[in-house]
Amino acid sequence: MKTLLVLRHAKSSWSNPGQSDHERPLNKRGRAAAPRMGQLLVEQQIIPELIICSTAERARQTGDLLADACKFSGNLVHETQLYLAPPSAYIEQLQQMDDAIQSVMVIGHNPGLEDLVGFFCDDPNFVMPTAALAELHLEIDEWRKLGIRTHAKLNNYWIPKELDANL
């Protein structure tokens, strides 16, 4: 069984209307929520071995803040194909993982992440607000066997606002 942690990027800023979507940074709330989710990884003892992150600035900042908060010591990889990606792009990335890796986190965007979790958990209406984290246990023993029809157990699901009212 493999573990997949799915994290939507934290809340981003819209304060600069001329800025491209890819370059939008986190806002104040996002800069607080991302490290809180890193603390959650420590509390739950689910720090992944690898983090694969979209190249969008808000996703990169989310990954960096989360990694600092949980003292992540693995590789944090940025992949351009995960920017606004459909579920198939995440699956293709994960299929390339070394089978020695048991736990991977992906950080990206909706609607792709909602659809990804929804496919795995057979819930087409799955919702992932900003900085939400889903912990999935995949019914596979080799990453190359991962597919859109792979079944997963939603082991846990957290939303920052439910962890801390100030978020």
Closest CA relative to residue 109, chosen from 59, 149, 146, 69? 59
Cα separation, 53 vs 105, in Å, equals 8
CB-based burial label for 48 (10 Å; 0-12, 13-18, 19+): buried
The Cα-based distances of 114 to 73, 99, 132 in angstroms read: 27, 25, 10
SS (H, E, C) 48-101: CCEEEEECCHHHHHHHHHHHHHHCCCCEEEEEHHHCCCCHHHHHHHHHCCCCCC
Quick check: 132 pLDDT over 80? yes
Q: Where are the domains of the chain?
A: 2-9+21-163
Give the tokens for residue 6: 């799915």
pLDDT band with cut points at 50, 70 and 90 for residue 16: confident
β-strand pairing of 75-79 with 50-54: parallel
The Cα-based distances of 25 to 13, 18, 77, 78 in angstroms read: 6, 13, 18, 16
Cα separation, 121 vs 138, in Å, equals 10
Percent of the chain beyond pLDDT 70? Answer: 98
Quick check: 14 pLDDT over 90? no
pLDDT band with cut points at 50, 70 and 90 for residue 163: confident
pLDDT tens for 76-117 read 999 999 999 999 999 999 999 999 999 999 999 999 999 999
- Position 100, amino acid: A
pLDDT band with cut points at 50, 70 and 90 for residue 3: very high
pLDDT number for residue 167: 60
Chain-centroid distance of CA 121 in Å reads 16
CATH code: domain 2-9+21-163 is 3.40.50.1240
Q: b/e per residue, 57-75, with b = 16+ CB within 10 A?
A: bbbbbbbbbbbebbebeee
Residue range 53-71: average pLDDT?
98
Predicted structure pTM score? 0.96
